[in-house]
Amino acid sequence: MVPSDHVTPVDGTQEKLLSHLRGLDRYQLEEFKLGLQCPELLPKSAQKMPWADLKAASPADLLALLMEYFPGGQLWDVTLQIFENMGLTSLCEELTAEGSEMAREPQQPSQEEPETPSEQWDPRRACRERLKARILAMWDNMPWPEGHIYLRHVTEQEHEDLMHLLSPGRTGTQPRTIVLHGAAGVGKTTLARKVVMHWVEGSLFRDSFSYVFYLSCHQLRDMEDTTFAGLLSQDWPTSRAPVRYFMSHPERLLFVIDGFEEMNVPSDGDDNGPPCPDWYQQLPVAQILLCLLKKDLVPAATLLITTRDDPSKDLRKVLRNPRWIRILGFTEADREEYFFRYFGDRHKASDISWWVRENEVLCHSCAAPLVCWTVCTCLKRQRTRRPTFQLSAQTATGLYTCFFSSLLEVAEASWSKPSWPQQWRALCALAASGMWSSRSTFSREDVERWHLQVPLIDGLLQLNVLQKVSDCEDCITFAHQSFQAFLGAMFYVLGGQEGAVGGLSKCQEMRVLLNDAFVDANVYWHQMTLFSFGLMNRHLAREVEATLHCEMSPDIIDALLKWAEELPTSGILSCSFEFLPFFRCLYETQEETLVKQMLSHLPEADLDLGDLQLQVTSFCLKQCQRLSQLRLSVNCLAPQKESTSGWGTPERQSLLQVFSSPFLLNRQTYQEVCQWENICSVFHNGHLSKLDLSNSKLSATFMKKLCYELRNPRCKLQKLTCRSMTPVRVLRELVQVLHGNRRLTHLNLSSNSLGAAVSTMIFRTLRHSACHLKYLCLEKCNLSAASSEGLAVTLTGTRRLSRLCLGFNQLRDDGVQWLCASLRQLDSALERLVLCGCQLSAPSCRDLSDALLQNASLTHLDLRKNTLGDEGVRLLCQALSRPDCRLQSLDVSDCSVTAKGCRELADALRHNHSMKVLDIGRNQVGDAGGRRLCEAVRRSCCALNTLGLERCGLTSACCRHLALVLGSRESLVNLNLIGNDLGPEGVNVLWESLEKPACKLQKLGLEKDLYDIVKEKLKALQEKGCFLRILCKWDFNDLEDTWWW
């Protein structure tokens, strides 16, 4: 590169060109340099300039480079081509004129860079000015309700946060797709517009992007078909946009796509649609936007997308490597500051903030500033009407009902006309239809279609229920999505049969709504569903009828009850049902009789409880009188500092008595105590048989209360799971349950680091005569060989424990020696023992072999994931080969066994008449080992019905031996061959035997590619009555064991 202090000799024409280069501002100069990197603007034979030379070049350096790379007339032509692509029309005309007047006297070059001539048109500057005017117009036209307080301004911290939007991620690369997602009204659009404004003003991303495009999805939705180039040019200051520059420098483009949820964009993300369009192909706008999102059009461009939380699943299918940033809106401190600024009373603001915090729905909704305004407006008007008013609106529906009622009380008298009920129903129908189509913005045609009158629309605009859309003429929108959701819910509780969409009745649409919200887990419907339930409250219904002069429909309650009655038989409860949102909706009614009716058939519930879910859950669970299964993960009653003085005996007093000291009981604790007692009441409803408390964090006091209720004579609990409890010491409270509940037979304490104190206490309790435990799972409990001694004493002292799981504890050979000593007792009742992953080796097998010969009750032994080796298998087979060995199931998968070990197992099977299940998977036994086992299984004395050979290194050569087994042994019903390289040839050999009538195989494990080969044959076989199933994932555990391990 020519050094900057070097003066290149120039003639008059080149000197004039240098003057023009110096007249470019720094952004134009950068764009000119980028043009020199674009092959479409250069001669075909031109040599590419190094970007390192161009990047730091001054105007004089740049001229020197131009003269070096483009000699003669090429210099002038290239410069003119790039200026034309930049849209510098007046400068191009001037250069053309100068080129035709070569004899003209050149002007002296200025020693300083002149200002860009005012008459020169700069496309980037014009774009920035036009974009700035557009964004400012949107903000100026955005109506804010009277009394609304805007807390946040553009601060240094906010600017810092915006800069981090494009900061490199974990991989060190700058993200090219950023998604701002969050609830409605929390500031996503505001943040996106601030990004645009900061770029326009030059304080953000100016060096990263040459052009920024702001695409409003609710505007795009109603656009006619266009081209991508036309879409980018529609808001251009002139009719001529520098499309060629856009195409050649996509990395310099930023697209801000605001309000994705407003667009009906295909979301399958597959390639079945039209091919990727070029920039000038006429297409629907939704298709163009999809190609933009998928990076088919401009792969190197940067996308900044805003969307609500609910439709983000659709985006995930389309976007490539997006960075998701959740916009949280107001924090708790922001809410309290808002309330203080509104009411001017810090104590009052604190009370309101606490009340909102205790209401889960309002707590989340108040992240949106406009909802805070709604809360304040409602409370202010209630206090005006009743000076002694207390915070009585217990639910979000109650608050919104009060809000709309108070607004309409001050509305114009003309609203009381006879046509008002019809107008109100029409408004609710508009809101509901918009919810179904994911629309919150409505055109004049939408308003006219529902026959809404101008006075009503103007009145609602004045009351800030509706707003005019700042960038869409004659369009209106609901001031906040919650207003639309409330009015949409109102549509379904008002009289009338016709639905909002057409084709279905209101009750039918409500059923679809409920299934979508609770079965398909579509959070988009949660708020509208919540309001629908809340309006079932009798007091609120009367208030609505009095204010709106509309009658509520009784049919909706019947529809809800019928839907709830069908839940147990529909099969959806055990797979994907959203219990917590369902309980929130029931709590919203505040009608215990209705809730009891709806929950009267509920057989199970699955709940994760945080700080805000305890109240809702306690309200509903105490109404679940027929609940038989409950999974309850509690994370809101974590251990605190607890004083033990003066508590007395928990069995003889309630938690309220325990916390009676004013030093121990505050408002929050009092509520938690009451709510926990309501939850515990379900344990003795007479039907609950299974309880899972896994992953719960409970203090000792709340655990004591739970265990006390589990001892209630009416408690029918049989199976209790307490995996991963925090803190582990609370498990000591289970002692009173094991002593006092004669029906409890199953206990799962896996994934708890029990320690010596807790494990010793539990082992001692198992020996108690009042303990009737039969199944005990202690997997991953950090037990050691030393722990085994205490457990061995327990097994010796109890005659009831029939199943014991000790998997993934470091028992080692010494620990197993202690266990086997107790198993040798003739009166041992243990039937199933799991010792997987216990770091055992061959010596353990000698002790186990002796125990198997002396213990007639032990029928199932799981030794997988131990390094037993062939020697360990040989020692086990000493017992297996004896006729008096009663073992029926043996799992030695992943135990370092080879073909030699298979030979020992095969010899043992020739003498064993009781073995039914053998799993030797994940051992490299090869075809030789597989052949040995097949020969043994074919013998008439073998009773094996399940054989596991997953990932055993088998090939097609072994399939002939397997086929002989399948064709001759009717007892074999399960065979796992997943992970073996059998090949198409081997599968076809197997299939010849599978088609024979003598083959009784019901379950076959194969790799998916091999399954695809015989898929059609399997269908034909099943049509003939065959029960064979082919699985690509295997589970040996039978239904009886799945509750355990």
**288-297, 652-661, 835-844, 1028-1037: the lowest-pLDDT one:** 652-661
pLDDT for residue 595 = 95
Q: Does residue 631 or residue 208 have the better pLDDT?
A: 631
Instruction: Please state at what angle helix 59-69 crosses helix 26-35, rounded to 10 degrees.
Output: 20
Residues 724 and 748: their CA atoms lie apart, in Å, by 10
Provide mean pLDDT across the span 1006-1031: 90
> Are 665 and 606 a contacting pair, CB within 8 Å?
no
Element (H, E) at 606: strand 604-609
The residue that leads in pLDDT, 3 or 155, is 155
Give the pLDDT of residue 953. 96
CA angle 279, 281, 287 (to 5 degrees): 90
Q: Which pLDDT score is estimated for 109?
A: 39
User: Alpha carbon of 286 to those of 166, 282, 1005: distances in Å?
Assistant: 26, 12, 45
Asked if 363 and 502 touch (Cβ cutoff 8 Å), the reply is no
* 928, 901 Cβ separation under 8 angstroms: no
Percent of the chain with pLDDT over 70: 85
- H helices of 303-368, in order, are 312-318, 332-343, 346-358, 360-365
| pLDDT greater at residue 127 or residue 1039 | 127
pLDDT value for 960:
94
Residues 967 and 986: their CA atoms lie apart, in Å, by: 15
User: In the prediction, which pLDDT does 154 show?
Assistant: 40
Q: Say which range, 379-393, 559-573, 722-736, 960-974, has the weakest mean pLDDT.
A: 379-393
Beta bridge partners of 303: 177, 255
**CA neighbor of 440 nearest in space, from 527, 322, 512, 507:** 527
Which carries the bigger pLDDT value, residue 188 or residue 667? 188
Residues, the chain, total?
1045
- For the chain, give the mean pLDDT: 82
Is the model's pLDDT at 273 over the cut of 70?
no
The count of C-alpha atoms lying within 13 angstroms of the C-alpha of 370, restricted to the half-sphere facing its C-beta, is: 20
CA-based end-to-end distance of the chain:
72
Residue with more model confidence, 313 or 787: 787
For residue 207, pLDDT over 50 is answered with yes
Q: pLDDT tens across 857-886, in order? A: 999 999 999 999 999 999 999 999 998 899
| Residue 561, amino acid | L
pLDDT one-digit tens code per residue, 445-463: 888 888 888 888 888 888 8
> Residue 176: its pLDDT value, please?
86
For residues 385-395, average pLDDT:
64
pLDDT of residue 868: 97
Q: Once rounded to an integer, what is the mean pLDDT over residues 248-266?
A: 85
Q: Regarding predicted confidence, which is higher, 21 or 965? A: 965
| Strand pairing category for 476-478 and 441-442 | antiparallel
Position 260, amino acid: F
Q: What is the mean pLDDT of residues 797-813?
A: 90
The winner for highest mean pLDDT among 269-278, 281-290, 465-474 is: 281-290
The first and second tokens of residue 539, run together, are 């007091």
- The pLDDT of residue 173 is above 70: no
Over residues 655-669, the pLDDT tens digits come to 444 444 444 455 667
- Sheet containing 476-478: give its strands across: 441-442, 476-478, 466-468
Q: In angstroms, how far apart are the furthest CA atoms of the chain? A: 120
* Residue 488 · residue 431 · CB < 8 Å: yes
Residue 645 has a pLDDT of 35
- Averaged over 964-989, what is the pLDDT? 92
Distance between alpha carbon 684 and the CA centroid of its chain, in Å? 35
pLDDT at residue 101, rounded to an integer:
53
Question: How do residues 406-419 score in pLDDT, each as one tens digit?
Answer: 777 666 555 556 67
The model's confidence at residue 1040, banded by pLDDT at 50, 70 and 90, is very low
Question: Is the Cβ–Cβ distance between 492 and 550 less than 8 Å?
Answer: no
Residue 179 belongs to what H/E stretch?
Answer: strand 177-182
Cis peptide leading into 727, omega within 30 of 0?
yes
In the chain, % of residues over pLDDT 90: 33
Say if residue 640's pLDDT is above 60. Answer: no
Q: Is the pTM of this model over 0.85?
A: no
Segments of 778-837 assigned E as strands: 803-805, 832-834
Angstrom CA distances, 273 to 270, 278, 321, 956, stand at 7, 15, 22, 42
Q: 53 pLDDT exceeds 80?
A: no
Return the DSSP state at 922: S
Nearest to 599, CA basis, from 630, 575, 576: 630
